[in-house]
């Protein structure tokens, strides 16, 4: 049974440190309006979309740091961001938005939400679990920091898949139920959200796939200069950028295939403040691991495709039929050992 939906990654170019949030949100709205002209149903925005990627800076002022966060439980009521919700409701488009969240208790999370236009509200929230980087800034003042471990707490909401209503028509859902072969791919699509570094951790994808996820989405702020930062072998900035994009694409394609799901990746890109380069490369991948749409440039850009979620069945029912093939008795170490312990052989 065909389960076609029209989806997009909204790639966002440079957002400088001095950018004004409400102005950045206007750029998001412009892409949302473009999406409407293509009858897109779901738009995925990047990680921490509405400010520059501030974990690259070491702030000594808590007050200054806090300007990069959204405060309180309900992002849809944030004055700077509310116009995006209003526009999405008007256009009838679902979206995923990443932002830095400060709870009432003062805890910082790297968060994203799923806004359902048909529900007229946020129906799911995810807080980034795999925080990269360091707690302390680098000693070298020239080095670009990655202070997510300083500014954020690992997400406490787990990898909770959810059904997104309104994307697949009632007629299709009814026909699916009649078909009755399997519980996979029936009813409203099952989605999962990740953020940036999560995509490199197969556990994240798998936990969603074990809930039947057909579509995984994530935004990212991956720097092209990471290879330098992290001390790998010397290479030119161009080679480093190429390798970083290669790794990003590689894990997206392979994990989409191994989990028999579509995926959408939405990148920040361009040169923040004219000097911090980001890899870009927003794309949509199929359950066979093929790229079906990808960004052409390094600025604001809508990357979209009509995808048939029914194509997940081939993988979910054959090669990756979990029930027939998985052997959980052999996987214990995955939850028993973080990796911080001394290396011990089984």
Residues 160-219 that bind its own copies (CB under 8 A): 160-163, 183-184, 190, 197, 200-207, 210-212
CA-wise closest residue to 32 among 123, 115, 113: 115
User: Please, which of residues 63-122 interact with its own copies by CB under 8 A?
Assistant: none
Containing 112, the helix (H) or strand (E) segment is strand 108-116
- Are the CB atoms for 266 and 219 separated by under 8 Å? yes
Determine which one of 21, 125, 128, 316 is catalytic: 128
Under the criterion CB under 8 A, does residue 326 sit at the interface with its own copies? yes
Question: Per CB under 8 A, does 255 bind its own copies?
Answer: yes
Q: With contacts defined by CB under 8 A, name the span among 6-14, 61-69, 83-91, 314-322 that binds its own copies.
A: 314-322
Give the residue ranges of DSSP H helices in 259-306.
none
321 makes contact with its own copies (CB under 8 A): yes
* CA 119, 43, 185, 320 torsion-angle sign: negative
User: 11 or 259, CB closer to its own copies?
Assistant: 259
Q: Is 304 in the site for its own copies (CB under 8 A)?
A: no
Q: Which of 21, 47, 70, 301 is catalytic?
A: 47
CB of 262 to its own copies, least distance (A): 15
Listed residue (218, 18, 241) closest to 110, CA to CA: 218
127 CB-near residues (< 8 Å, 6+ apart):
101, 109, 110, 111, 154, 155, 156, 157
The alpha-helical segments, DSSP class H, found in 141-193 are 148-151, 170-179
Q: Given the residues 70, 87, 148, 196, select the one marked as catalytic.
A: 196
Residue list 126-165, contact with its own copies (CB under 8 A):
129-132, 154-155, 158-163
Of residues 106 and 339, the one with the C-beta less far from its own copies: 339
Cα–Cα distance between 308 and 196 in angstroms, integer? 25
Residue 93 vs 191, nearer CB to its own copies? 191
The catalytic residues are 47, 128, 196
């Amino acid at each position: 049974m065909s389960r076609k939906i029209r989806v997009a990654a909204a790639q966002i170019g440079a957002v400088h440190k001095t950018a004004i949030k409400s102005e950045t949100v206007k750029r998001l709205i412009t892409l949302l309006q473009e999406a409407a002209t293509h009858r897109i149903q779901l738009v995925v925005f990047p990680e921490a979309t509405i400010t520059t990627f501030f974990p690259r800076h070491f702030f000594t002022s808590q007050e200054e740091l806090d300007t990069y966060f959204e405060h309180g439980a309900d992002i849809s009521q944030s004055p700077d961001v509310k116009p995006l919700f209003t526009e999405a409701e008007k256009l009838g488009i679902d979206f995923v938005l990443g932002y830095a969240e400060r709870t009432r208790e003062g805890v910082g999370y790297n968060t994203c939400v799923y806004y359902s236009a048909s529900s007229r509200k946020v129906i799911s929230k995810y807080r980034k679990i795999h925080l990269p980087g360091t707690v302390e800034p680098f000693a070298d003042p020239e080095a670009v920091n990655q202070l997510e471990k300083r500014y954020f707490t690992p997400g406490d909401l787990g990898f909770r898949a959810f059904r997104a209503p309104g994307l697949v028509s009632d007629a299709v859902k009814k026909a699916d139920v009649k078909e009755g072969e399997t519980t996979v791919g029936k009813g409203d699509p099952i989605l999962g959200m990740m953020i940036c570094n999560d995509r490199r951790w197969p556990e994240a994808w798998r936990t969603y796939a074990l809930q039947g996820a057909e579509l995984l989405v994530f935004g990212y702020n991956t720097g092209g200069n990471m290879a330098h930062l992290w001390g790998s072998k010397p290479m030119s900035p161009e080679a480093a950028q190429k390798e970083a994009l290669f790794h990003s694409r590689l894990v997206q394609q392979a994990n989409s295939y191994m989990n028999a799901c579509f995926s959408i990746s939405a990148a920040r890109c361009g040169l923040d403040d004219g000097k911090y380069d980001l890899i870009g490369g927003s794309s949509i991948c199929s359950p066979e691991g093929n790229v079906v749409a990808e960004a052409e440039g390094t600025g604001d850009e809508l990357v979209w495709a009509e995808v048939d979620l029914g194509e997940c069945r081939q993988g979910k029912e054959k090669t990756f039929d979990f029930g027939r093939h998985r052997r959980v008795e052999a996987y214990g170490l995955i939850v028993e050992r973080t990796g911080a312990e001394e290396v011990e052989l089984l």
